[in-house]
Amino acid sequence: MDFDTKSLRFKLWALFALFAILIMLLVWFLEIYFLHNNYEAMKIAETTGIAQSLVAKYGQEDFVDSCAKLSTTSDIYIHIEEDNGSVIYSPMLEGDTPPSYMYFRDLRTVQKELARAQSFPISVMLEDATTDYNTLAYATQIEAEDEAGVLHTVRFYVFSPLYPVESTIRILRHQLVYVTIISLLFSLMLGIFLSERIARPLHNITESAMELARGKYGTTFHGGNYTEIVNLADTLTYTSIELEKSCAQQRDIMANVSHDLRTPLTMVKSYAEMIRDLSGDNPEKRNAHLQVIIDEADRLNLLVNDMLSLSRLQTGAMVIEKKPFSVKEMAESIVQSYAIFCEQEGYSILLDCPTDITVNADEGKIRQVVTNLINNAVKYCGNDRMVIISIKLAHGQVRFDVTDHGMGIAPEEIEHIWERYYKASTNHVRTTAGTGLGLSIVKEIVLLHGGKYGVNSEVGKGSTFWFEIGVR
């Protein structure tokens, strides 16, 4: 058993016990203290009430019946007589069980008291020295006419035996001890049962969280029977699965980066060795080999630059500097930079920009976005080797579309191509030259400009990559 005083188990258990103790204290107080002090007062009130109701009912038809009923239900004795001595009601008359206490002696005592009294009603406590029993007597008299219209004095006597409270209290106390013990035990059991039911799933969640902390991503959490704990468990399971995914992604990224870096480095190393060992004296070969080294170094440079700018974009370290510039001029100058390449390789890059649009944005970064999209289009274009760039203005937004007629992208891959280092499986073989970062950079820059981006693509027909940004 866990005795950590701060534990949920202990606290629940203690609360239940405390609750039971409080209830029992209340019961003890009410039953014993109250009974002890109030019994007499309650009896007096009850007797007075009964006597007054009798007086009120006097003269009614069912008067004698009511007297009989009251004396059997209320544990009292009623005696009513007129001043001429005729008895209207008495326990002896009505065949009640004869009073077990000193009824006749008491009656006489109270009759005397009433005769002496100046005002009515009177109440007398009749004490019995031989037994513990006392009797509370209440007496009053009224003037009433009989059937012949003659005035009579009618005297009412109500006797209420007072039982010794002490013995009752003794019995109650005895019972209460058992009740207290049973209710304490019961509350303890209930507390333990409830705390077990709440604490166990929490304990299990803690165990699973420890597993997660030890690196076992994908651990599932089980929450038991309470909605709140089940929600917590579900959230943790979700977190754990997300962690697993992101961990796998990180591993992929590491594998990709090291692969991407290793290939050009191996090339640089092997060509350098070749120059040292073989082609050093042959200027033609040496130059060709040196060119490979330069190309690979360029590629490394490109890769490292892409990585740097992406990480700066994603950590928010890169800020955009907006300035108004002409989109048409920018696009023309980009297309111009591909002129020699297009001529040599047989590509055609067509620009469709009917109006001159001025946009307030970071020109350098928008240029990078367009260049990345053109590079991709060139890389993945179809046999027609054609790339179409179209720029339009609509609703205060300038929209760029870069279209190719290449192999397109499978629908299930589309949502992933914007992720870092993602290379679509269909294009993987052809994209050894890509870094897998181009589209992530496009996405980050467009988002930094508060714009939108997307792609419409059909496998076998080609793709149109688009983005739009506000002109202001």
Specify the residue, 361 or 409, whose C-beta has the smaller distance to ligand ADP. 409
CB 414 within 8 A of CB 454: no
Q: How far is the CB of 452 from ligand ADP (least distance, A)?
A: 17
Specify the residue, 152 or 385, whose C-beta has the smaller distance to ligand ADP. 385
Q: Which one-letter amino acid corresponds to residue 198?
A: I
Please give the residue ranges that form the binding site for ligand ADP (CB under 6 A): 376-377, 380, 404, 406, 409, 417, 422-424, 427, 431, 434-440, 463
Query: CA–CA separation, 369 vs 437, rounded Å?
Result: 12
Query: CA–CA separation, 319 vs 381, rounded Å?
Result: 33
- Identify the sign of the CA torsion 177, 180, 182, 184: negative
Specify the residue, 241 or 414, whose C-beta has the smaller distance to ligand ADP. 414
Q: Which one-letter amino acid corresponds to residue 443?
A: K
3-state secondary structure of 358: strand
Q: In sequence order, what are the beta bridge partners of 392?
A: 399
Residue in the block written with tokens 């005696």: 79
Q: How far is the CB of 340 from ligand ADP (least distance, A)?
A: 22
Take residue 275 and report the two structure tokens written for it: 């120059």
Q: How far is the CB of 422 from ligand ADP (least distance, A)?
A: 5
Specify the residue, 261 or 272, whose C-beta has the smaller distance to ligand ADP. 261
Query: CA–CA separation, 97 vs 81, rounded Å?
Result: 19
Q: How far is the CB of 353 from ligand ADP (least distance, A)?
A: 20
Query: CA–CA separation, 341 vs 345, rounded Å?
Result: 6
Specify the residue, 164 or 454, whose C-beta has the smaller distance to ligand ADP. 454
Q: How far is the CB of 351 from ligand ADP (least distance, A)?
A: 17
Specify the residue, 309 or 440, whose C-beta has the smaller distance to ligand ADP. 440
Per DSSP bridges, beta strands 386-394 and 348-352 are parallel
Within 10 A of 458 (CB to CB), how many other CB atoms are there?
Answer: 12
Specify the residue, 191 or 406, whose C-beta has the smaller distance to ligand ADP. 406
Specify the residue, 201 or 434, whose C-beta has the smaller distance to ligand ADP. 434
By the 10 Å C-beta count (0-12 exposed, 13-18 middle, 19+ buried), 22 is classed as: exposed
Specify the residue, 193 or 341, whose C-beta has the smaller distance to ligand ADP. 341
Specify the residue, 39 or 418, whose C-beta has the smaller distance to ligand ADP. 418
Specify the residue, 76 or 437, whose C-beta has the smaller distance to ligand ADP. 437
Query: CA–CA separation, 196 vs 219, rounded Å?
Result: 23
Specify the residue, 74 or 375, whose C-beta has the smaller distance to ligand ADP. 375
CB 78 within 8 A of CB 54: yes
Within 10 A of 346 (CB to CB), how many other CB atoms are there?
Answer: 7
Q: Where are the beta strands (DSSP E) in 65-192?
A: 77-82, 87-89, 122-127, 134-145, 151-162
Q: How far is the CB of 463 from ligand ADP (least distance, A)?
A: 4
Q: How far is the CB of 271 from ligand ADP (least distance, A)?
A: 23
Distance, CA of 231 to chain centre = 7
Closest-CB residue for ligand ADP?
Answer: 434
Query: CA–CA separation, 191 vs 13, rounded Å?
Result: 4
Nearest to 25 by CA among 190, 188, 186, 176: 176
Query: CA–CA separation, 375 vs 438, rounded Å?
Result: 9
Q: How far is the CB of 215 from ligand ADP (least distance, A)?
A: 30
3-state secondary structure of 24: helix
Q: How far is the CB of 310 from ligand ADP (least distance, A)?
A: 10
Query: CA–CA separation, 234 vs 226, rounded Å?
Result: 12
Q: How far is the CB of 343 from ligand ADP (least distance, A)?
A: 22
Q: How far is the CB of 437 from ligand ADP (least distance, A)?
A: 6
Long-range contacts of 456-461 (CB under 8 A, 24+ apart): 457/408, 457/409, 457/414, 458/408, 459/407, 459/408, 459/409, 459/410, 459/426, 460/407, 460/408, 461/405, 461/408
Q: How far is the CB of 262 from ligand ADP (least distance, A)?
A: 16
